[in-house]
Chains A and B, each alone.
Chain A
């Protein structure tokens, strides 16, 4: 029972972490390797706003999300736009920016365990005799709301449909007057904001540490690879598989095997079925 409940919570953590990454890659084919850095960035910005500017939680959260989106836009406009299409360069440039961002915070002295974000509501609730605190329930709730919101956004609004159009067939979408740069900027902003949202939900469970940036990137990559790059349903399914796998490993083996299992899952997926659960890159299946 414990495994079931904490497995679900853990899966939603992974969904929150990975969804921004898969959104950007799925719509605009941009590998945003600064994803983990934006995650940490949002956490620290929220902390600064609450403790230095004395803002209450809600405005601080909203403002830091806006900052995260802004960083995404800036990265796209000043860097990615110029090197779009050069795969290796995109990865190196975004990774370098991410490292620069994370290490700046380390240099500014943001390390140690003194930096925490408050939980939305203190307290513990018992579900089938398993204690679960409210924050973990919030993670699940926010994850569900986010999935629904993104689904509704891409289904029913004009801009959301433009995003999907670009994702399905870039040339045809451009012929219909959808601006590829505009949608890519939007995707980067959205993806970064989602990464920030994950940070606001997950950091209250522990403290804000810079190393989280690197781990987050690996987890996001793992979920996206296993689920099939760019496939949203695949991402959700993979998050559940990996989420439960991690909880089971921690329960029956030891904590430091968690990363081994995650990495092994990536390797196994790539060898057995490179395009992931629901990947659309069928040409990758073609073995040579």
Chain B
């Protein structure tokens, strides 16, 4: 009779040894801890330099960072707060129009108007989403999906801010190095800031709300206020991305509310693996260049892209980062039962 076997996963020794900070005793262990982080930080910081001779791919890098920000916002809301938010393009649009208004009417330079637009935009988004905060699950997802569609139609119908033409002649960055490093550094700062936030006191409460909101409320914590704060942080990232985009394209228009900004970040989070924010960034780093490479397919690009996405979801539902980190931290072997 054939013996049945099952796969067993065991933590690597080096992981156990380097778990406690005081136990670090060799360069090997330090490298084990630092290498993945260094790969990301160093890689992103070096990318503008390496891509110096490929201006086209420099632009792609910017798009990667934009989508990384949006994916982080989605991942943070979905896997830490428990609000599945399909309104990424709402944040982008609000931030974009905000930066355009600040730049055109108050004549602020990009480096000032982007943070300001992100701040005001985040406040605006939080205010508008406030009535929907009691909703959960698919319902919150669908209502946030409706917001950007609604904004598009309203701007179209009332011809606000230039109507369908959008707002033109917004000041650009001028210097390409500032343009790139501003966004790359901001992405890294936001990534690690959000990760830190999620282990602070506020982060613990936020994750508590995801697991059991009733018991958090029973502890005397105002959960609507906490959720609003979380929405504020996430929409800050989204609006930042939108404001930045407005200055890069020197234009703010209806296409900033396009569904792409809602859908691709979700795809990136699913492909990269949710729940760690890093996975979201990894997903963006993989998917955006992929969609650029697929331009070779011409009009079939979206088709191929969707098919790849479906296959990844069906085959690797857990997400790439979770898979990789499992391989990194654990080894597997077959044991007989």
Contact = CB atoms under 8 A, between A and B. Distances in A.
B309 interface: yes
Given A221-B142, A260-B157, A266-B142, A92 B270 contact: yes
Which size bracket describes the interface of B in this complex? Answer: 35 or more
Given A92-B267, A267-B143, A100 B150 contact: no
A212 interface: no
Interface stretch (A65-73, A83-91, A138-146, A194-202): A83-91
Nearest to A225: B142
B138 A97 contact: no
Contacts of B59: none
Interface in A73-106: 78-79, 82-83, 86-89, 91-93, 95-97, 99-100, 103-104, 106
Given A89-B313, A100-B306, A288-B217, A274 B139 contact: yes
A92 B313 contact: yes
Instruction: Report whether over half of chain A's contact residues are helix, strand or loop; otherwise say mixed.
Output: helix
Interface in B42-100: 78, 84
Interface stretch (B110-118, B129-137, B189-197): B129-137
B213 interface: yes
Which of B84, B132, B150 counts the most A-chain CB atoms under 10 A from its CB? Answer: B150
Interface string B254-269: 0000000001001100
B188 interface: no
Contacts of A221: 142
A271 interface: yes
A270 B132 contact: yes
A263 interface: yes
Instruction: Report whether over half of chain B's contact residues are helix, strand or loop; otherwise say mixed.
Output: helix
B208 interface: no
B132 A103 contact: no
Interface residues of A, number: 40
B307 interface: yes
Contacts of B270: 88-89, 92
Contacts of B286: none
Given A100-B307, A107-B303, A263-B146, A287 B134 contact: yes
Interface string A265-277: 0110011001000
A260 B142 contact: no
B125 to A, nearest CB: 15
Contact of A100 (B147, B267, B303): B303
A88 B313 CA distance: 10
A221 B139 CA distance: 11
Contacts of B157: 254, 256-257, 260
A103 B306 contact: yes
Which of A86, A96, A107 counts the most B-chain CB atoms under 10 A from its CB? Answer: A96
A139 to B, nearest CB: 26
A31 interface: yes
Contacts of A83: 313-314, 317
Given A92-B267, A270-B143, A79 B310 contact: yes
B263 to A, nearest CB: 7
A4 interface: no
Interface of B: 78, 84, 131-132, 134-139, 141-143, 146-147, 149-150, 153-154, 156-157, 213-214, 217, 223, 263, 266-267, 270, 298-300, 302-303, 306-307, 309-310, 313-314, 317
Interface of A: 31, 78-79, 82-83, 86-89, 91-93, 95-97, 99-100, 103-104, 106-107, 218, 221, 225, 229, 254, 256-257, 259-260, 263-264, 266-267, 270-271, 274, 284, 287-288
5 contacts: A91-B141, A92-B263, A104-B303, A267-B143, A270-B143
Given A86-B317, A107-B300, A266-B146, 16 more contacts: A88-B266, A92-B263, A92-B266, A95-B263, A103-B306, A107-B298, A229-B138, A257-B157, A260-B157, A266-B143, A270-B142, A270-B143, A271-B135, A274-B139, A284-B136, A288-B217
